[in-house]
Structure 1
């Protein structure tokens, strides 16, 4: 299986490693920034660099698939272009900037009959997989409610770069940190949303005290996205989900968690980042809250630590779906529901009303 990578961004390294570990051959990297693509190719033993997807496909007529690691604005157009070339696509999160773009990607994947997957890596974290097993085996029962949280006290990813430009990114932490929303929906069975009520805030944008630690370069672009969001989603099934995402908000340390309450048990998957955001100082946990023999019990689930937060495992799953018939870890149908919810969050915040879906 031959795969090409489009975009030499930070997540591309996880794609390259995951694809290779799963038995695929990464034949090229395409990025209009030639020095960046050449440096990436040299680091990851990739034999060729290109400026465009078209150039890569021309040189590799037997190319099977591509992964997309670009600013969000280009996810839809590149995905559709690749699908029309007959390629399978693995696209970084978020799937797109909005539901309209995601719908077009979904429609094209169905027309082409090709696999379309996304970088929802938190589903593949060891602790998430452990909790999912208990849910699948019926030990949790129906999940009535859940809370999705990714909060940062000081974590704006650059000032004026593409992350803070709505045209390029589609939004701020609602879009950037949607992993826990996806994980909560995944645990709940991805129910059909009914109503969304949300507020977004723009405090601290441009304040250097609230900049993130990841070394993402500042730019000369806009800073017109939100820095925090609080939302409530109800579903046609009667379930509900509360959401809190922030890049800059007065709270404790950076916390990443999905908590849920079921009819038989509750649970939580959580990552507590180190004080400076460095993964090796973080703590991952998975726990079930249940009742046994008339007593309230917390079951701590011991799992191996994964500093990649499931990124390599998710990329491996993409390859194994195509080479070994493994079940996809996520689907375009789910991605479309997720983007409909994010659209509704922004609309509700703008209108001050509950948005019906």
Structure 2
């Protein structure tokens, strides 16, 4: 399998590692920054460099797939362009800036019959994979409710760069940190949403004391996205999900987790970061809360540690879903539901009203 990369930013390295681990060849990289593309190609032994996707498609007819690692604004048009050119596509998260863009990607994938997957790497973390096994075996029963959390105390990813520009990013932490929303929905089987009520805040935006180590260097552009969100989602089958996402909020530390309550057992997948990212106080845990022989039991499930948080494994799954027929870890249909929910979060916050799905 022959793959081309569009965008030589930080996440692209995980894509290459995963593709190569699965036996694929990464033969081309395209980036508007020629020097960045050159350095990336040299580091990873990539043969060809191009300024954009169009040039790469025109001169690399043997490509089987394209990996999209660009600012969010370009996910949809580049994905559709690659799909229409007959290539499978692996796109970084978020899938798009909104549900309308995601719908266009979904329809293009159906029309062309090509695989489309996204960088929802947290599904591939060892902790999540352990929980999936218990869920598949019915140990938790029906998940009635869940809480999706990705909160940072000081983690705004660059002021005035594309992360904080709504036109380029689509939004702040609701969009950027939607991994736990996706993971909770995945644990629940991606139920159809019924209604969303949400509030967002933009406290601390532009305050350098709340700057995190993620993202590109500071720029002189817009800082017009939220810094925190609190939301409730209800589903047509009577279940519910609460959401808390933040880049900058008065928390003790950065917490990344999904907790759920089922009819037979509850569970939690959690990563606690250190005060300044990853340090000796960081830890990953996965727990199951159940009842055995009339007693309340907390099971601590021991798994191997994965510092890539499933990024490499997710890219491996993309290749093997094509070459070996493995089940894709995520689908365009799920991504469309996710983007409909994020749209509703923003609409509810703007209007102060509950958003109901037709």
TM above 0.5, one fold? yes
Does 2:151 match 1:151? Answer: yes
- Name the structure 1 match of 2:208: 208
- Do the aligned partners of 2:156 and 2:214 also contact (CA within 8 Å) in 1? no
- Do the aligned partners of 1:160 and 1:222 also contact (CA within 8 Å) in 2? yes
- Name the structure 2 match of 1:55: 55
* CA–CA distance in structure 1, aligned partners of residues 192 and 152 of structure 2: 29
Q: Quick check: 210-219 or 277-286, which moved more?
A: 277-286
Q: Quick check: 111-120 or 273-282, which moved more?
A: 273-282
Shift of 1:281: 5.2
- Name the structure 2 match of 1:286: 286
* CA–CA distance in structure 1, aligned partners of residues 136 and 228 of structure 2: 33
Alignment of 1:106-121 (within 5 A): 106-121=106-121
* CA–CA distance in structure 2, aligned partners of residues 57 and 96 of structure 1: 22
**Large movers: runs of 4+ above 4 Å:** none
Q: How many residues align?
A: 357
Alignment of 1:1-357 (within 5 A): 1-214=1-214, 216-278=216-278, 282-357=282-357
1:334 is paired with a residue of what secondary structure? helix
* CA–CA distance in structure 1, aligned partners of residues 198 and 187 of structure 2: 22
Shift of 1:269: 0.1
Q: Quick check: 42-51 or 221-230, which moved more?
A: 42-51
Shift of 1:96: 0.1
> Any gaps of 5 or more consecutive residues in structure 2?
none
- Do the aligned partners of 1:71 and 1:169 also contact (CA within 8 Å) in 2? yes
- Do the aligned partners of 2:163 and 2:215 also contact (CA within 8 Å) in 1? no
Deviations 1:118-168 (A, max 9, x none): 000000000000001000100000000000000000000000000000000
Deviations 1:42-89 (A, max 9, x none): 111111111111211222211100000000000000000000100000
> Any gaps of 5 or more consecutive residues in structure 1?
none
1:147 is paired with a residue of what secondary structure? strand
* CA–CA distance in structure 2, aligned partners of residues 242 and 48 of structure 1: 46
Q: 1:30 to 1:204 in 2, by over 3 A?
A: same
Deviations 1:230-259 (A, max 9, x none): 000000011100000000001110000000
- Do the aligned partners of 2:287 and 2:299 also contact (CA within 8 Å) in 1? yes
1:148 is paired with a residue of what secondary structure? strand
Q: 1:8 to 1:204 in 2, by over 3 A?
A: same
- Do the aligned partners of 1:279 and 1:307 also contact (CA within 8 Å) in 2? no
Q: 1:280 to 1:305 in 2, by over 3 A?
A: farther
1:26 is paired with a residue of what secondary structure? strand
Shift of 1:210: 0.3
* CA–CA distance in structure 1, aligned partners of residues 180 and 260 of structure 2: 12
Q: Quick check: 270-279 or 192-201, which moved more?
A: 270-279
Q: 1:279 to 1:175 in 2, by over 3 A?
A: farther
Q: Quick check: 110-119 or 56-65, which moved more?
A: 56-65
1:276 is paired with a residue of what secondary structure? coil
Shift of 1:12: 0.1
* CA–CA distance in structure 2, aligned partners of residues 103 and 181 of structure 1: 19
Q: Quick check: 206-215 or 110-119, which moved more?
A: 206-215
* CA–CA distance in structure 2, aligned partners of residues 309 and 216 of structure 1: 21
Q: Quick check: 39-48 or 193-202, which moved more?
A: 39-48
Q: Quick check: 150-159 or 58-67, which moved more?
A: 58-67
Shift of 1:103: 0.3
Q: 1:279 to 1:24 in 2, by over 3 A?
A: farther
Shift of 1:280: 6.9
